[in-house]
Amino acid sequence: MSAAVKPLPPNLEQIIQRFQQISEPRRRFEYLLWFAKRVPELPEAEAVAENKVPGCVSQVYITAALHNGKVTFQGRSDAQIPKGLVGLLIEGLNGLSPDEVLQLTPDFIQQTGLNVSLTPSRSNGFYNIFKFMQHKVAAFQVADSQVLNRRNL
């Protein structure tokens, strides 16, 4: 019996569908760079070690905030392709609950067709950015459980 495939969040599904409509690799990169232009500038004060994505060739920073049970990410990169990947992920994941973010796997990148066009270091960077975003979200759950534990003492 095969495991049921969980549907992707609507924003991420919409992004993937748009990528699937683009047949030329060059145009996929142009669309990726469109996401780079849409990334709101992360304040310089947030470009600190605790927000730096490890394992990326470029300088990539991600922050996460939790508002009314929904996650909001911000990010920045010093290079356009990683910035596009950050933008894609921010648009695809913002507004989800922590559980929804943590249940995702990065294999959705294959559905975009970008994985065949990205260099190995960029593919690795995508994976590192995605996992770092999940790490940031997991910290919210740890903080919540610590608060609950203190209340129960």
The catalytic residues are 56
Classify residue 83 by burial, with Cβ atoms within 10 Å: 0-12, 13-18, 19+: buried
Contact status, residue 133 vs residue 93, Cβ threshold 8 Å: yes
Strand, coil or helix: 77: strand
How remote is the C-alpha of 127 from its chain's centroid?
9
Cα–Cα distance, 113 to 111 (Å, whole number): 6
What's the sign of the alpha-carbon dihedral 83, 88, 94, 96?
Answer: negative
